Amino acid sequence: MAIYMLGRNTFGDPADAGKLMTIEEAHQLLEDWVPNERLRLHMKQVAAVMKAWALEREGADATTALKWELAGLLHDADWEKHPDDHCRIIIEELERRHIDPEVIHCIASHGPRYFGVEPENTMDKMIYMFDELSGFIHAAALIRPTRYEGMDVKGIQKKLKTLNFAAQVNRDDITDALSRIDTPLEEIIQFIIDHQKDVV
C-alpha cells in the first residue's frame, strides 16, 4: 500500500463550520470524478453505513448525519483519477468549496498509517472502522449465490482469518480501528451487513 502523507493535520476554514453540500451535489461529484461503478458502490455503501450509525447509534440530527454521509460518500473520490495524490485532491476540492472542516478531517483520517492524520472524534474513528470492513464484507457477498441474504457474522470472521481471501484488505487496519472504539467486532460486522446490503 502506498503512503500518501498529507503533511498537515488541520483542514478547511473554521469559518466554514456547518457548510455542507447537498447529497445530490456529492453524488454529482462522484459521477464526474469516479467512472468505476464498483468504486462508486463502495463509497455509497460506506456512506449508508456512516449515516445509519450516526442516526441510530449517536442520536445525530439530520445535519450531523449528513456530515457522516458526505464523508463516507467522498472519502475515495480522488482514488481512481489521482492514485498518487489520494486524499489530497478531494481535500483541496472540498476546501475550495468551503465545506465544513469536520467532514474534511474525517476524510483525511480514514487511513492514519497512509495519510498521517489520526482519527480524533467518533465520526473519524467510524469511517476508519467501516472503510476496510465494508469492502471486505462486500467481497464476501459477491462470492455467495445469495449475496447478503443469509450472511452470518461468524462466516465473515472466519474469512478475515483467511489471509488469501480479499488479500488487498489490510487486517491490521481493521484491528487498529477496532482498538479505538468500544463496540465489539461482531456487532460492527452485523451492522454493516444490515445497512449496506440494499445499497446499489
The answer to whether the CB of 169 falls within 8 A of the CB of 1 is no
Q: Does the pLDDT value for residue 2 go beyond 90?
A: no
Task: Please state the rounded mean pLDDT for residues 140-169.
Answer: 93
Question: Does some domain include residue 7?
Answer: no
Q: Give per-residue pLDDT as tens, 16-70.
A: 999 999 999 999 999 999 999 999 999 999 999 999 999 999 999 999 999 999 9
Question: Does some domain include residue 6?
Answer: no
Q: Does the pLDDT value for residue 1 go beyond 80?
A: no
Q: Can you tell me the distance from the alpha carbon of 54 to that of 106, in angstroms, rounded to the nearest whole number?
A: 14
Look at residues 100, 67, 80 and name the one whose alpha carbon lies nearest to residue 31: 80
So what's the pLDDT on residue 7? 84
The answer to whether the CB of 43 falls within 8 A of the CB of 72 is yes
Question: Does some domain include residue 2?
Answer: no
E-state strands within the chain: none
More confident residue, 168 or 99: 99
The two most distant CA atoms of the chain are separated, in Å, by 50
The answer to whether the CB of 134 falls within 8 A of the CB of 49 is yes
* Among the ranges given (2-11, 36-45, 147-156), the one the predictor scored with the smallest mean pLDDT: 2-11
So what's the pLDDT on residue 3? 64
CATH number, domain of 37, equals: 1.10.3210
Question: Does some domain include residue 86?
Answer: yes
Task: Please state the rounded mean pLDDT for residues 111-133.
Answer: 95
Domain that holds residue 162: 14-196
- 150 backbone φψ class: left, alpha, beta (φ>0; ψ -120 to 50): left
The answer to whether the CB of 17 falls within 8 A of the CB of 111 is no
Residue at 35: amino acid letter: P
Question: Does some domain include residue 8?
Answer: no
Question: Does some domain include residue 110?
Answer: yes
So what's the pLDDT on residue 65? 98
Question: Does some domain include residue 56?
Answer: yes
Question: Does some domain include residue 3?
Answer: no
So what's the pLDDT on residue 84? 86
This prediction's pTM: 0.95
Structurally, how many domains does the chain consist of? Answer: 1
CA distances to 2, 10, 53, 81 from 70, rounded to whole Å, are 24, 18, 13, 19
